[in-house]
Amino acid sequence: MAPHNIWIECPHRARAGEELTARIGFGHNFIVQGKADPLRTGAWLFTPGGKKVPLAVDAGEKELTVAFVPGEGGVYTLLCEYDGKIWSIGRDGRHLRGPHTDHPGIDITRSFYAYQFAKTFINVETDYPWPGPLGLELEIVPQPPARGQLEVAVLYEGRPLKGISVQAFRTGDPSPYTTCTGAQGMARFPFTKGSWMILTNYANPQKGVPGQYNERYLTAIFTLKT
């Protein structure tokens, strides 16, 4: 079984002083397939002024949640990170937890360290301006939809990534829209109203650890509801 992704589902419009609760999904493409480990999940709220506020992750019976109260108007960013730890892939395609040394007798073709970043925006009494990058290791930075399109930048350590596959999932659609970033790390999608999940991955073999894993495998997800 491949590692699950996290994503955020949250009210996208609110009033200052209103308590909000966000749900941290765990699975694939808006389909919940379990619950993320709360000990490996972190959450932060970024205010319109750029202040980073740590949030407590509450582990319910079936899901993780975070609660917060935006204190002023503006567009907030909610960030969750998930430490997926080490995975190994067998020649038969199986995804196995742990480094290859944990699986003697199995032909391992690749091992990686999985780490994920999930973001969403909360519009508090205004829809603009949309926040810029947070300086994450891998990050999707969206622009406000215009002329029926959604444009996003994909950044790795603050630099645009060229030629990276980006997928856009919309609830109710059977298959995602897939494209690649251009020279400036930008990707564009046809955009209509609904709940959207924008997803990209990036593997860096230069951050592998000999004897443990071959590469650091990152996932960035941005969710948006209109």
Token digits for 195? 């709940």
- State the burial class of residue 45 (Cβ atoms within 10 Å of its Cβ: 0-12, 13-18, 19+): buried
The per-residue pLDDT for 172 is: 83
**What per-residue confidence (pLDDT) applies to 113?**
98
Class of the CATH-defined domain 5-225 = mainly beta
Domain residue ranges in the chain? 5-225
pLDDT the model gives residue 3: 83
Task: Scan for tokens 């919940």, then name that residue.
Answer: 32
pLDDT at 1: 56
Tokens representing residue 133 in the block: 């990058």
Beta bridge partners of 111: 88
Q: What is the pLDDT of residue 174?
A: 76
SS3 label, residue 102: helix
Q: Which residues of the chain have pLDDT under 50?
A: none
Q: What per-residue confidence (pLDDT) applies to 115?
A: 98
Cα distances (angstroms) measured from residue 66 to each of 41, 54, 62, 114: 11, 10, 14, 22
The structure's pTM equals: 0.96
pLDDT tens-digit profile of 9-53? 999 999 999 999 999 999 998 999 999 999 999 999 999 999 999
